[in-house]
Amino acid sequence: MQQSKRHSSFPIHIAVFLAPAVLLYSLFMVIPLVNSLRLSFFEISSQNQLSFSGLQNYIKLFTDSNFAPFFWRALKNNFVFFAVHMLVQNPIGLLLAALLAAGGRIRNFFRTVLFMPTVLSVVIIGFVWQLILNPLWGVAEGMLTAVGLGEWFGPWLGKPETALVTVALISVWQFVGIPMILFYAALIGIPDELTEAAHVDGASAWDIFWRIKFPLILPTVGIVSVLTFVGNFNAFDLIYTMKGANAGPDFATDIMGTLFYRTFFGQQLQLGNPTMGATVAAMMFLIILTGVLLYMFLWARRVQTYEM
């Protein structure tokens, strides 16, 4: 009875509830995104006229000497950036989460402190670390000397070999709070009954963690990895703040985000090109999509989610 009434005409109040969100989201996010993807198949003339050019922009991006070296380097740098986060940020996040999850009141204090850098703007963090690492101020050098590692210090941000990893580690320092809090939420969700028996049998905390708890939080490991992957393509702010749009020294810190910005808006000598910019964005879109799909089909399907 109710069914026939609901199906005959779409209830007006549902439309009223949904309309503002669907409209705003479509108009300012989905349609511009689709339009950007579409523009990557067009060429723009000096009179601002668009003409269809098929896959020309993509061929240019992969082979033209004005674009290809930059594109491949930015892509490689993005993967280095991602690898540093996977190898440093997420393991530290897991370690901190495991220590926090052990309980106790003082740990709430640690939780608040450890998450603090995450809420600050990337721009602020970028400048803060530029000052800390500045040899002129000598704070980082002073700290390293105090623990006997003074000789290690160098102008890390200025050298092409170390700049990218240094910037990536600064990003790790800022965002370690995110994997930490997600792992923490997963760990405290594990019921005590599951670990009690192992405790009674005399298993060490180390064994309990790796044999019982870690397998239970594997779904969170997957989510954290995907978030890390997608987040990398948003890393523009930090590099732009610390190294400018040219991602110096000598493009050593150039990632897809800065490449996109430069291609779209131009730089000192080169004019901006919206359709090539759209092509870079479309490549980022494809890479993100591939990552998310791989996660959904290869990881999320195989990893068992336990009902706890």
Stretch 130-159 residues interacting with another protein (CB under 8 A) = 131-132, 137-139, 142-143
Token pair 């995110």 is found at 178
Cβ neighbours of residue 20 closer than 8 Å, sequence gap 6 or more: none
DSSP code, position 1: -
* Cβ atoms 57, 43 nearer than 8 A: yes
**Only segment of 54-62, 66-74, 157-165, 286-294 that touches another protein (CB under 8 A):** 286-294
Three-state SS annotation for 42-73: EEECCCCCEEECCCHHHHHHHHCCCCHHHHHH
**Only segment of 5-13, 82-90, 147-155, 158-166 that touches another protein (CB under 8 A):** 5-13
Candidates 80, 144, 230, 303: give the one binding another protein (CB under 8 A).
230
* Cβ atoms 58, 201 nearer than 8 A: no
**Only segment of 35-43, 58-66, 71-79, 194-202 that touches another protein (CB under 8 A):** 35-43
| Residue among 34, 44, 69 nearest 276 (CA) | 44
The CA-atom distances, in angstroms, between 74 and each of 38, 68, 87, 286 are 23, 10, 20, 15
Residues 233-262 that bind another protein (CB under 8 A): 233-234, 236-237, 240-241, 257, 260
CA pair distance 207, 198, nearest whole angstrom: 9
Candidates 8, 20, 47, 271: give the one binding another protein (CB under 8 A).
20
Kindly state the smallest distance separating residue 237's Cβ from another protein, in Å: 4
Q: Taking the chain, what is the end-to-end CA distance rounded to the nearest angstrom?
A: 38
Candidates 55, 66, 127, 211: give the one binding another protein (CB under 8 A).
127
* Cβ atoms 85, 74 nearer than 8 A: no
Residues 73-92 that bind another protein (CB under 8 A): 92
Kindly state the smallest distance separating residue 63's Cβ from another protein, in Å: 22
Kindly state the smallest distance separating residue 216's Cβ from another protein, in Å: 12
- Give the x-and-dash track for 195-214 against another protein (CB under 8 A): ----------x---------
Candidates 182, 221, 247, 255: give the one binding another protein (CB under 8 A).
182
Total site size for another protein, rule CB under 8 A: 90
Kindly state the smallest distance separating residue 221's Cβ from another protein, in Å: 15
